[in-house]
Amino acid sequence: MKESTLKKKKKRLVFRSVMLAVMVGLIAFALISNNNSDKSVVAKGEEPPDFKLKKFGTEETVSLSDYEGQGVMINFWATYCEPCKDEMPYMEELYDDYKEQGVEILAINLDSTDLVVQRFLDRYGLSFPILHDKDGQVMDEYNVGQLPSTLFINPEGEVEEQVVGPLTLDRLEGYLNEITPES
């Protein structure tokens, strides 16, 4: 009986040690992840790096430098991102008016599967350029962590504003006004 009690205590000690190690590992992971998520998207006042991505469903490529002298909104999104789904109708609602004023909206999708993206586009009927960053290269270069993340670039080519998280229609329109070229 004494031997059985010792075995149980030993098993409990091993179990508790393993659980403690797992908890320490999770805490370390959380601290490292939190530290990395503090990296911001390209900072306000900086010139964002140029990129070249294909427009979704075509062979046409688009570069940020194609829009030199214009205001540009870059929105990083994915179909699985609920706040992204909320923002898309706002962007579509404002797109034509701001395009006429010299502002382009570029929505950079981060999904890896074409089919889910196509279904999303069919559902929402989006007319602004959807660029596909399948391998996440541009996302990494811009230090995008949380989705949605949006950059508003003025006609001089500098980041006027960066927003991590969802945008309301009013906020979106305000930021687009800030990057509209002077008439």
Question: Which domains are seen in the chain, by residue range?
Answer: 52-178 (3.40.30.10)
Using CA atoms, how far apart are residues 39 and 43, in angstroms rounded to an integer? 10
Which tens digits make up the pLDDT trace of 19-29? 777 777 667 66
Q: Which residue has the tokens 């701001």?
A: 98
- pLDDT at residue 37 above 60? no
Token readout for 31 is 């601290």
Contact assessment for residue 163 and residue 77, using Cβ atoms and an 8 Å cutoff: no
pLDDT at 120: 93
pLDDT tens digits for range 136-159 = 999 999 999 899 999 999 999 999
